[in-house]
A and B are shown apart, each in its own frame.
Chain A
Amino acid sequence: MIQTIDFVGFLTLGLLGGFGHCVGMCSPFVLFVSRRYVPPGAGRSAAFIAQSWYTTGRVMTYAVLGAAAGALGGVVELAGGLLGLQRAASIVAGAVLVVWALATLSDLVPRLGSGGSLFTRVAGALKRRVPGHPFATGLFLGLLPCGLLYSALIAAAARGGVLEGAAALALFGLGTAPALLGVSVADELLVRNRAVINRLSQVFLLAMGLWFLWTGLAG
């Protein structure tokens, strides 16, 4: 019999995993959300609201995946369909991060960001594909391949039941929020308004974007 965990266990899994796993893997998306949806000078509350919408979207996607795992009662069927979808999500998310980071770094390279260049056209096309609201971005990024999410889905599948699976994964998603909101708060207070450190965060976004691209393409 596959071991089951209770609802508090899912919240704890998210909470501990948030610090042990998500801070490393998902902090580039937290930085991205702040930069994409919060204009400079909009204030910390605006950043918090954007991050909350992003988290809500992510939790919604997790809940849907949890419901599917609970309904199927097994992860084998779910994993088959999910792996392909998540690889595609990884490629798109990685490409967006790369283009976004290159666009913000383009002022360091003469003529790279000037109108009419191939880079500008590609960047413009990709940017137009980025959802206009952080909630939609959260819905999409909830599909990113994630080992911790897989673990939660396995436990939810073992419990069985659509509602139970949805509730379990929603709690898991909420559990991951404090760590990522902590990154966002630190970013707002410390990094965003300092040119040199902000440059480093752009390089970090670029590196993580390349990593997600590689992960998706390498399968």
Chain B
Amino acid sequence: MTRYTLLGLVVLGLVAAGVYLVTSRSAPADAPAAGGGAPMSTSGDEALPDVTLADGSVDAGDVRVTLSLTPQPPVAFAKMRVRVRAESGGDPVAIEGGRVSFEMTMPMGDHRYSLIPADQGWQTAEVVLPLCPSGKRRWYATVEGTVAGRPRTSRFRLDLAVPK
């Protein structure tokens, strides 16, 4: 094995290490956490509430987190209004430091948005998501924030429509 082959292997190893570090950091978790990090009983995509065509909710103990998108279905490259609401016993409760982030299996950059308080306990963000040329349309939304003094994480799934 020549000196250059060894050097090539080192460079290739560095690139592979970079790929591993980035993809392991950005890959969506398979078993989504709900309510203070407790894993859901069913793992995988289908266990997540689908918010493509209707609002979806995640129950996290005494708190229910609802995610609503406008329009339904959300369209790639178009502005989408994201609304989040947490409630306990039917009454809205505040989400402190609320934010929503979006990811898919393909690394697509950082799509993280702060939630801004709106009326009737809703918090909103205006979001634009890109289209993945690979043909994948499935995205995952993660809502994070402190509700009733406890950090909460709720995950949802959505399928982007292709712009006409």
Residues of A within 8 A of B (CB): 1-3, 5, 9, 13, 16-21, 23-24, 74-76, 79-80, 83, 86, 90, 145-148, 150-155, 157-158, 179, 182-183, 185-186, 188-191, 215, 218
Contacts and interface: CB of A to CB of B under 8 A. Distances in A.
Contacts of B39: none
A19 B114 CA distance: 27
Interface in B1-38: 4-5, 7-9, 11-12, 14-15, 18-19, 21-23, 25-26
B109 interface: yes
A75 B128 contact: yes
7 contacts: A19-B15, A19-B19, A23-B19, A75-B130, A151-B108, A152-B109, A179-B15
A183 B15 CA distance: 7
Nearest to A27: B15
Contacts of A179: 15, 18-19
Nearest to B78: A76
Give the interface SS of chain A, mostly helix, strand, loop or mixed.
Answer: helix
B106 A21 contact: yes
A21 B79 CA distance: 25
Contact of A186 (B11, B108, B114): B11
B108 A148 contact: yes
Size range of the chain B interface in the assembly: 35 or more
A81 B131 CA distance: 14
A146 B109 contact: no
B12 A190 contact: yes
B89 interface: no
A215 B135 CA distance: 8
A191 B134 contact: no
Interface of B: 4-5, 7-9, 11-12, 14-15, 18-19, 21-23, 25-26, 76-79, 106-114, 116, 125-135, 163
A181 to B, nearest CB: 10
Contacts of B163: 76, 79-80, 83
Nearest to B76: A79
A191 B163 CA distance: 41
A56 B43 CA distance: 44
A17 B8 contact: no
Contact of A182 (B11, B79, B110): B11
B128 A20 contact: no
Contact of B8 (A2, A79, A189): A189
Given A19-B18, A150-B108, A152-B109, 9 more contacts: A16-B25, A21-B107, A75-B128, A76-B78, A83-B131, A147-B131, A147-B133, A150-B130, A190-B8
